[in-house]
Amino acid sequence: MRPIGANLADVESRDVHTASFARKGVALWGPVALTLTLVAGVTLVPASPPTRGDATPFWCLGCGDYALADAVANVVLFLPVGWALARTRMRWLSSLALVLGTTIGIESLQHGFVPGRVASLSDILTNTAGGVAGMALPALRRWIVESGRRALGASIGYGVLLVACLGVAAATEAVPRARMLHWTESADPSRYVRFSGSLSAVRVAGMPVPSHEWRSVPAREVVEVGVDFLSGRPDTGLARVLIGWMPNGSGWVWLEQRGRDLHVHIASASDHLRLHGHSEWLNGIMPAFAAGGACSPRLGRPRSLGPRC
């Protein structure tokens, strides 16, 4: 018969082992649960429903006005998921299956149950790419720190990449100087419904600009544009209020109404790269029930200065 003291020691040893195992499990799988919760919170929140021309076909890769911005965001969103899975020492194929299953599940929920969300194959591919990149981060870190030369090279490369990214960001956000502008109310019928309101006046730097007439724009750092119009009905869909054209045929600034929201966009190089650029939705500023509400947005390069409706 074993002494009582020995039995108590065995019990205490098992308790300590169990507590240690539990703490290790929380340390390994807690980040996985946290990152998946954050992903669900970002992707499964209802959004404004897409209107004609807004929805992206499921099988289309690179479609949408902000395709590149969406792709980068998807990759960055799943990087922490891959990193957290790599820390668990799970088999690589099992981790990949979990990442792929997560993004397919999210897209399925968006398609069937989450209002305003649009599922796409592009999202599945870029989410998976982000997860795979995150899974490679711990091994890459270990490989870099094993050698002082590699660590120095990685530090220099990171600094160069950071400066380059900042430079590219500044270049793409630059707004082209519009020396001449003219205004129209025309819209692409495949993307827009007819605007049911009416445009009253457009002013550039305080000077009125008649529609369809070219006018010079002052060479200033900030050019204020004022627009007076009567709002359209909020239940007709996405309607373009006006667009200002440059001599090269490119749009410089435009206003759109969808429901009670006003969309303000000023052109920049980021538009060609499918990035977000200078685009802002001013939510809930339009009349709720009928057309004819007076609105006077004031726009400044590069963003809205103060709409009033």
Tens of pLDDT, residues 81-137 = 999 999 888 899 999 999 999 999 999 999 888 887 888 899 999 999 999 999 999
Q: Which of the two residues, 246 and 282, has the higher pLDDT score?
A: 246
- Strands in 239-245's sheet, in edge-to-edge order, are 215-216, 180-184, 239-245, 251-258, 261-266, 278-282
Q: Is residue 103 in a domain? A: yes
Q: Where are the alpha helices (DSSP H) in the chain?
A: 4-43, 67-87, 92-112, 121-145, 148-173
Q: Is residue 204 in a domain? A: yes
In tens, the pLDDT along 128-161 reads 999 999 999 989 988 988 888 888 888 898 889 8
> What is the domain range of residue 211?
180-304
Q: Is residue 151 in a domain? A: no
Q: Where are the alpha helices (DSSP H) in 190-292?
A: none
Do both 142 and 15 map to the same domain?
yes
DSSP-based three-state secondary structure for 90: coil
CA angle at 122 for the pair 118 and 127, rounded to the nearest 5°: 95
In tens, the pLDDT along 193-235 reads 888 888 777 887 777 777 777 888 777 767 777 888 888 777 7
Q: Is residue 159 in a domain? A: no
If you ran DSSP here, which 8-state letter would residue 260 be given? Answer: T
Q: Is residue 23 in a domain? A: yes
CB 242 within 8 A of CB 184: yes
Q: Is residue 55 in a domain? A: yes
Q: Is residue 226 in a domain? A: yes
CB 244 within 8 A of CB 181: yes
Do both 186 and 119 map to the same domain?
no
In tens, the pLDDT along 18-59 reads 556 567 767 788 899 999 999 999 999 887 655 444 556 788
Which of 121, 146, 171 is a domain's end point? 146
Closest CA to 151 of 139, 161, 143: 143
pTM: 0.66
Closest CA to 98 of 122, 58, 134: 134
CB 205 within 8 A of CB 233: no
